[in-house]
C-alpha cells in the first residue's frame, strides 16, 4: 500500500489475511524487506517462547 492510506480495501478483500505492523513516530512506512524481517523475528520469538 501507499505511505498514507495503506493497502486499498479492494485489494484486501481479495486476500485470505493480512498483517499490520504497528509503527510509532512521524514516518509510517516500511519496505517489503524490512516487513519480512519484522514478521520473521516475531515468528521465531513466538516459537522460542513455546519451548
What pLDDT is recorded for position 15?
96
What pLDDT is recorded for position 33?
93
Per-residue pLDDT of the chain (51 residues; tens, 9 = 90+): 777 778 899 999 999 999 888 888 877 788 889 999 999 999 999 888 886
Q: What contacts 12, CB < 8 A, 6 or more positions away?
A: 18
Grid coordinates representing 20 are: 499490520
Q: Are the C-beta atoms of residues 8 and 1 closer than 8 Å to each other?
A: yes
What pLDDT is recorded for position 11?
94
pTM of the entire structure? 0.64
First to last CA, the chain: 36
Q: Are the C-beta atoms of residues 43 and 35 closer than 8 Å to each other?
A: no
Q: Are the C-beta atoms of residues 28 and 3 closer than 8 Å to each other?
A: yes
What pLDDT is recorded for position 32?
87
Amino acid at each position: 500500500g501507499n505511505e498514507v492510506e495503506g493497502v486499498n480495501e479492494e485489494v484486501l478483500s481479495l486476500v485470505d489475511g493480512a498483517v499490520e505492523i504497528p509503527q510509532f513516530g512521524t514516518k509510517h512506512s516500511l519496505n517489503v524487506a524490512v516487513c519480512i524481517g519484522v514478521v520473521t523475528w516475531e515468528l521465531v520469538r513466538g516459537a522460542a517462547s513455546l519451548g
